[in-house]
């Protein structure tokens, strides 16, 4: 299935309008440095956690994690993200 595959990446700056816009903002603030998958992943995970804390109305970790697991995360940067019951997550490639 991977015949001819050269490289895989969990994040590509030029995937869609949202990834291009976020990458441009990142580069402006980081001395023209291009974002990596690590940058995108940290941004996405912190944002999801903070949004779940806001929705839970608390910063209690167990309550926030329960809120994270309630529904898939629709992330503009990485696309749909699902948190499994074991706490691991995966993204659903839509492009």
Burial class (CB in 10 A: 0-12, 13-18, 19+), 28: exposed
Nearest to 78 by CA among 67, 63, 89: 89
What is the length of the chain? 95
Q: What is the pLDDT along the chain (95 residues), one digit of tens a residue?
A: 778 888 777 788 888 898 999 999 999 999 999 999 999 989 988 999 999 999 999 999 999 989 988 877 888 787 788 788 887 877 766 55
């Amino acid at each position: 299935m991977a015949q001819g595959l050269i490289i895989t990446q969990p994040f590509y700056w030029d995937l869609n309008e949202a990834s291009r816009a976020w990458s441009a903002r990142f580069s402006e603030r980081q001395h023209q440095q291009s974002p990596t998958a690590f940058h995108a992943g940290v941004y996405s995970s912190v944002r999801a956690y903070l949004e779940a804390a806001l929705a839970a109305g608390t910063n209690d970790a167990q309550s926030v994690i329960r809120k994270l697991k309630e529904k898939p995360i629709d992330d503009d940067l990485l696309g749909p993200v699902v948190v499994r019951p074991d706490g691991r997550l995966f993204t659903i490639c839509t492009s």
